[in-house]
Structure 1
Amino acid sequence: MKLPEVRDAFTQLAADLAAGKVTPQDAAAQITALVPEMRRRPPVHRSPPRRAGLASARNAIIAYHAAHPGADYHEIATATGTQIGRVSETLAGKRT
């Protein structure tokens, strides 16, 4: 049962309970049956992380820069899979 259907069932139950068509015990039983339908389903797919982490990106930038001292920031960013700003911050010592 989908959430709009559960909402409609709760609305109908409230109306029936107010009109006296349903006893409180029957309403409690129906509510108990509807509550599990309101839980979220687990995600179908989660994408894997793009990089191992910031520390490994920092290490990759520093290692590439040491191996290629004449490389510009764009080349380092492309080779390490990071952004130019991250390369600049790392090499300037602003990002640890």
Structure 2
Amino acid sequence: MSDIDSTLQQLGSLPLPAGLDRIDEAVIAGFAAQRHEASFGRRATALAGAFALLLGLGTGGFVSGPPAQAQAIAPFAADNPLAPSTLLDVHP
């Protein structure tokens, strides 16, 4: 026999550790704790999303005055406010 075989035989003859019979309960309790933490995170995320949605809907109704009208922009018009010539024009 090799050294590994004899070492494994010696290891097999040793008594089991004292806490080995309680390891299943500890692992299952750890899974339950992780599940509880994950469900709390999902609820907190849903609550934050609902709060943001209500805040956005609530503040959107308090805009004063009529909505601004968009101006039509022609891509090659001379009076286009976004044309590079008007953006680079520096007035002293």
* Bigger relative contact order (CA 8 A; separation at least 6): 1
Larger radius of gyration: 2
TM-score under structure 1 length normalisation = 0.29
TM-score under structure 2 length normalisation = 0.30
